[in-house]
Amino acid sequence: MSDNEVAMPEHAAHAAAVAALTAPVPETIGDGGAELVQLLTPEGERVDHVGHPEYSATIDELTDDDLRGFYRDQVLIRRVDAEATALQRQGELGIWASLLGQEAAQVGSARALRHQDYAFPTYREHGVAWVRGVNPLNLLGLFRGVNQGGWDPNENNFHLYTIVIGAQTLHAVGYAMGIQHDHAVGTGDPDRDAAVIAYFGDGATAQGDVNESFVYAASMNAPVVFFCQNNQWAISQPVEKQTRIPLYQRARGFGFPGVRVDGNDVLAVYAVTKAAMNAARSGQGPMMIEAYTYRMGAHTTSDDPTKYRVSADVEVWKLRDPIARLKAYLTSSGKADKSYFDAVEVEADALAVTIREGCLSMPDPEPASMFDNVYVDEHPLVEAERAAFAAYTASFEGGH
């Protein structure tokens, strides 16, 4: 018997094993598959998830005010986002990363947080920032170039935007370890127990830091929820070229549960995130949520998605719009009527004006302020250069 004859069956077995692993292949226009947790269909019909009645129970506890709030948050942040995109086109922002299409994933997850929880965002979490109470104008400051992050993270337990892909997931796990060290997990006190939510995208799942954060969270049993917004595109790279298996299934290999939720269904996102955060706060450790959604706009205003994706795909996802489906549900269930929707529109118009005027009147920082806050304590080199800069600047005064 030759070596080749021995090797053939092994190759066949390997091929079969790979085939078993890689089905179903994720697709950018897929519907999320059977595992998808969905409580509101794209048409706005309220449905239950077989096997997880507790998700429906969570939604049933919500008041009509809560549900209208979910709608209002999404409409307002979409309007902020549209205004920011327009401001970039008019040269008022250097760049903008639009959240269009991801409103439900962000509002639903952020609404599931308690005050004492902490969120670590990427640079696209405008909806989370909104729900946490960060002034949207502060978000614009970063993209206008007047600062690198103009809010106090500890005021709203919402960390600064992190631009290096995936780096914040490790900070989130470390913060969660700090919660453990503070004995603020698993005590049963709802005002004391806390957890962390780490936001990242499908592209970030390739990063070493994200994988290390999974390992550390599992090793430490840290109270952290990994919230992956799979918007199907890492700039121009579609998700099917990033992964062989659905992203939520990766969690299993790291030793904690993963769940795929309809990211355009704010009710499902809220229910799933609430359950995951509760579990983390109670000491059950990490969990991964894959919010299956779509980036309706460009990666950023510098991007041109027509070069790498077809408009037919975008049309498929337009039919799954998160705001339209909630509006349909609120209408059909009688929880909100035209007067409410009109009032939210008026509020959105006013907010857009505030954002525009606030952006245009945002002062540039004093040039010498770039020497501030590099260190806590005085650093001789910084001080020497600050003085030299002041002297150099002063040398022009009145002289040109």
Binding mask 129-148 for other proteins (x = CB under 8 A): ------------------xx
CB of 345 to other proteins, least distance (A): 35
CA 75 to chain centre: 17
CA 345/CA 354 separation, integer angstroms: 14
Nearest residue (CB) to other proteins, 182 versus 304: 182
- Candidate list 126, 260, 295, 320, residue with the active-site label: 295
Q: Which of 328, 270, 264, 265 is nearest to 101 (CA)?
A: 264
- The candidate with the shortest Cα–Cα distance to 345, out of 78, 42, 64, 124, is 78
For residue 131, the Cα-to-chain-centroid distance in whole angstroms is: 12
Helix segments in 192-293, DSSP class H: 208-220, 250-254, 266-281
Out of 182, 315, 337, 357, the residue judged to bind other proteins by CB under 8 A: 182
Residue 138 or 300 with smaller CB distance to other proteins: 138
| Residue 295 annotated in active site | yes
Q: Is residue 373 a contact residue for other proteins (CB under 8 A)?
A: yes
What residue ranges in the chain does DSSP mark as E strands? Answer: 118-120, 196-201, 224-230, 233-234, 237-238, 258-262, 287-292
- Residue 392 annotated as catalytic: no
Work out how close the CB of 378 gets to other proteins at its nearest, in angstroms, rounded to a whole number. 9
Q: Is 187 in the site for other proteins (CB under 8 A)?
A: no
Residues 6+ apart with CB under 8 A from 52: 37
Q: How far is the CB of 179 from other proteins (least distance, A)?
A: 7
249 binds other proteins (CB under 8 A): no
- Give the Å distances, CA to CA, from 365 to 94, 172, 238, 330: 16, 30, 39, 45
From the list 77-85, 153-161, 229-237, 352-360, the region that binds other proteins by CB under 8 A is 153-161
* Contact predicate 254/226, CB 8 Å: no
Nearest residue (CB) to other proteins, 90 versus 219: 219
If one asks whether residue 160 binds other proteins (CB under 8 A), the answer comes out as yes
Restricted to residues 204-243, the positions that interact with other proteins (CB under 8 A) are 208-209, 212-213, 215-216, 219
Closest CA to 122 of 167, 173, 178, 79: 167
* Binding residue (CB under 8 A) for other proteins from 191, 353, 372, 393: 372
Q: How far is the CB of 53 from other proteins (least distance, A)?
A: 35
User: Token pair for residue 198?
Assistant: 């780490």
Instruction: Give residues in contact with other proteins (CB under 8 A).
Output: 147-154, 159-160, 162, 164, 167, 169-179, 181-182, 208-209, 212-213, 215-216, 219, 372-377, 379-382
Q: Which residues are catalytic?
A: 295, 299, 308
